[in-house]
Chain A
Amino acid sequence: MRTDVILRVVAKLLIPFALMFALYVQFHGDFGPGGGFQAGVIVAAAVIFYGVIYGLPAARRAVPDRAVELMVAAGVLLYAGVGVAGILLGGNYLDYFVLASDPVHGQHRGIFWVEAGVAITVSGVMLKVFYLFAGRGRDPEDEA
Chain B
Amino acid sequence: MLAEHFPALLVVTPLVAAPLIVVVRSARAGWAMALAACLAAVLMAAQLLARVAASGPVSYAIGSWPPPWGIEYRVDAASALVALLVSAIGTASVVYARRSAAAEIGGERLYLFYALMMLCLAGLLGMVVTGDAFNLFVFLEISSLSTYVLVALGRDRRALTASFQYLILGTVGATFYVMGVGILYLATGTLNLADLAVRLPQAADPRAATVAIAFITAGLGLKLAMFPLHAWLPGAYAHAPSAVSAFLAGTATKVAIYALARIWFSVYGADALLRDIPVAPVLAALSVAAAFIASGAAIVQDDLKRMLAYSSVGQVGYITLGLSLATEPGVAAAIAHVVNHGVTKSALFMLAGAMALRLGGTRFSDLAGVGRTMPVITFAFVIGGLSLIGVPGTAGFVTKWALAGAAIRAGQPVFAAVVLLSSLLAVAYIWRFVECAYFREPPAGAPAPGEAPASMTGTALALTAAVVAMGLHGAPVLGAAGRAAAALMGGAR
Name A's B-contacting residues (CB within 8 A): 69-70, 72-74, 76-77, 80, 83-84, 86-87, 91-98
Contact = CB atoms under 8 A, between A and B. Distances in A.
Given A77-B16, A83-B12, A96 B63 contact: yes
B473 interface: no
Contact of A84 (B12, B22, B63): B12
22 contacts: A69-B25, A70-B22, A72-B22, A76-B16, A76-B18, A76-B19, A77-B19, A80-B12, A83-B8, A84-B12, A86-B64, A87-B5, A87-B9, A92-B5, A92-B61, A92-B62, A93-B9, A93-B12, A93-B62, A93-B63, A94-B8, A96-B63
Chain B interface extent, by class: 10 to 19
Nearest to A121: B19
A93 B16 contact: no
Contacts, number: 56
A92 B64 contact: yes
A92 B19 contact: no
Q: Interface SS of chain B: helix, strand, loop or mixed? A: helix
A73 B22 contact: yes
Contacts of A76: 15-16, 18-19
A11 B320 CA distance: 59
A97 B64 CA distance: 8
B351 to A, nearest CB: 35
A93 B22 CA distance: 23
A86 B18 contact: no
A77 B118 CA distance: 14
Contact of A92 (B8, B18, B20, B23): B8
Contacts of A70: 22-23
Given A92-B64, A94-B63, 5 more contacts: A72-B22, A73-B19, A73-B20, A76-B16, A93-B9
B24 to A, nearest CB: 10
Given A69-B22, A91-B64, A80 B5 contact: no
B96 interface: no
A72 B5 contact: no
Interface string B22-40: 1101000000000000000
A92 B16 contact: no
Nearest to B16: A80
A73 B24 CA distance: 10
B12 A92 contact: no
B71 to A, nearest CB: 9
Nearest to A90: B1
Interface string B434-464: 0000000000000000000000000000000
Contacts of A98: 64
A43 B317 CA distance: 49
Contacts of A97: 64
Interface string B382-395: 00000000000000
Interface in B12-70: 12, 15-16, 18-20, 22-23, 25, 60-64
B63 A86 contact: yes
Nearest to B63: A94
B128 to A, nearest CB: 16
Nearest to A69: B22
B19 A94 contact: no
A98 B65 CA distance: 12
Given A76-B15, A80-B15, A84-B12, A95 B23 contact: no
B323 to A, nearest CB: 32
Nearest to A107: B63
A95 B12 contact: no
